[in-house]
Structure 1
Amino acid sequence: MNVIYILLIVVAGMGLSFEAGLLGPLGEQVGHLWATLSIFGVGTALLWLIRHFTPHGKFTDWNSIPKWQLIGGLLGPIYVVALTLSTPILGVAMSMICVLLGQVTKSFAIDYFGWFAMPKQTTNPLRVLSLVFIFLALCFVYLGAQS
């Protein structure tokens, strides 16, 4: 495993927690859908600037892209709206552990079945145990919040 990529993803994950902490109060102030729109608007503007000032890579005609690959564009706003709605109620930690459980569960299925043109990965007892630990973390954080 390349440690630099692992660290990069850990830092990106920290960014998601930071974003969740921002989205909850923003959604309470301006409305949940407007909070989502503002997050995507700022992101779009930033990506447009980066794209404008960096060398252009290859671009494939939109018609040649399999339509199922564009579904990701629908999932991002759903995720952000869900965070905006749940974080003020559940808190950042509980929201992120719920996200983590969902991500890892679906990731194991994608790896195991080789969905979305990904290479198949075997599931072994250690991988299943890691999923159990994430579920236990969710239970412990939930119980800790109740006391």
Structure 2
Amino acid sequence: MPLVLLIVFAVFAGAAVPFQGGANAALGRALGHPLWATLASLAVSVLCIVPILMALRVPLPTLGGLAGQPKWIWIGGIAGAVYVTSAILLMPKLGAASFMIAVIAGQVVAALLIDWIGGVGLASRPIDGSRLVGTVLVLIGAVVVQWPALSR
């Protein structure tokens, strides 16, 4: 698949995220607690994935493949729960744009460090000038978007 198409898909996936945060915040209010909304949201995710697995006839995983794996392979589930709960709690207070730019800034900084050290099973990639400048620009953008609230 061409790189441009992969980037377009990633942009669309990113565009879904603020809708997720806003919807989950409303769900949290309706259910009376943000953690119930987190659980409900993740349950809906499971309900969406299971029929796709069945339709594609994806074989059941072999649990033996987990033996000897590093403990960090489970961090994705923890990160998902932290993100969903954070969005439920923070998006109503910050607004969608302010919350998302802060999240994106955190993602870019963490991704740069993960690439640099070769973390979570990825190949190491050096921090070159363009990657550093791009990260700094994202951080500057985060400050600019937050500026009205910061200057109060």
Per-residue Cα deviation, 1:52-87 (whole angstroms, up to 9, x for no partner): 221224733254361321221111111100110000
Partner of 1:48: 50
Runs of 4+ more than 3 Å apart: 144-147
Match of 2:112 among 108, 111, 114: 108
Q: Which runs of 5+ in 2 are unaligned?
A: none
**Equivalent-residue separation in structure 2 for 1:65 and 1:18 (angstroms):** 38
**Equivalent-residue separation in structure 1 for 2:14 and 2:148 (angstroms):** 22
**1:125 to 1:17, Cα distance in 2 relative to 1, 3 A:** same
Match of 2:63 among 58, 61, 64: 61
Per-residue Cα deviation, 1:88-114 (whole angstroms, up to 9, x for no partner): 000011111111011110101111111
| Counterpart residue identity of residue 47, structure 1 | I
Other structure's SS at 2:57 match? coil
**Equivalent-residue separation in structure 2 for 1:68 and 1:4 (angstroms):** 30
| Counterpart residue identity of residue 70, structure 1 | W
Deviation at 1:25, TM superposition (A): 2.2
Deviation at 1:28, TM superposition (A): 2.4
Per-residue Cα deviation, 1:28-49 (whole angstroms, up to 9, x for no partner): 2322111111111111011111
| Counterpart residue identity of residue 48, structure 1 | V
| Number of residue-to-residue matches in the alignment | 147
Alignment RMSD, CA only? 1.8
Partner of 1:18: 19
Q: Which runs of 5+ in 1 are unaligned?
A: none
**Equivalent-residue separation in structure 2 for 1:138 and 1:12 (angstroms):** 20
Return the TM-score normalized by structure 1. 0.90
Return the TM-score normalized by structure 2. 0.88
Partner of 2:5: 4
